[in-house]
Amino acid sequence: QVQLQQWGAGQLKPSETLSLTCAVYGGSFSGYYWNWIRQPPGKGLEWIGEINHSGSTNYNPSLKSRVTISVDTSKNQFSLKLNSVTAADTAVYYCARDFRYIGMDVWGQGTTVTVSS
Amino acid sequence: QSVLTQPPSSSGTPGQRVTISCSGSSSNIGSNYVYWYQQVPGTAPKLLSYRNDQWPSGVPDRFSGSKSVTSASLAISGLRSEDEADYYCAAWDDSLSGWVFGGGTKLTVL
């Protein structure tokens, strides 16, 4: 049973860099796209971006200038960095596995990130 | 403002059939598969449906889905209290080269 476990700082000040990591346990890392999605309080899901095992990325155009997603295949991990955060970046951040045409079938537990001065 | 449009809320009584709509455009639903996710508040979303009308194991056959041109719908028949959740549609958008979600529909079982 594949599991995603994510971690990272939950409290940030404006202008700091958000950094989260997601580890893949119990399954293959290759052959999938690995995604980050966020959900502001009381709001819907927003896709941030994705990466595959070879490092090919796609980003949400609205966040592209501030986002970097990277992969460490030796550890079966992928990471999210979002720089210059503001209060608008306060959200629960999820990592998820996407097997093309099967959808995002495995999700991390979510990490609450709060940006406040 | 979400790229895919869903009604913010829907409701039904136990045993009833409800439908949730999802409207998009030619660059997303019109040219790619539709996916549905179910989210119980406070938990991570769960994949409910893929490729328009395919269902992961464990999803009751009370759920059904359809797609027509640039719209899709999720139907739940024999509504049960455990169906109360938020439902999101999603599709790949060729213009944005990324995933887009609907704003979500909160389903209440009265």
Q: pLDDT tens digits, residue range B49-93?
A: 999 999 999 999 999 999 999 999 999 999 999 999 999 999 999
> pLDDT tens digits, residue range A80-99?
999 999 999 999 999 999 99
A58 interfaces chain B, CB cutoff of 8 Å: yes
A44 interfaces chain B, CB cutoff of 8 Å: yes
Residues of B in contact with A108 (CB under 8 A): 44
User: Chain A: nearest CA to B58, how far in angstroms?
Assistant: 13
Taking residues A24-34, report their average pLDDT: 93
* Burial letters B43-78, b for 16+ CB under 10 A, else e: ebbbbbbbebbebeeeeeeebebebeebbbbbebee
A104 interfaces chain B, CB cutoff of 8 Å: yes
Considering only the beta carbons, identify the residue of B33, B35, B101 that sits closest to A46: B101
A103 interfaces chain B, CB cutoff of 8 Å: yes
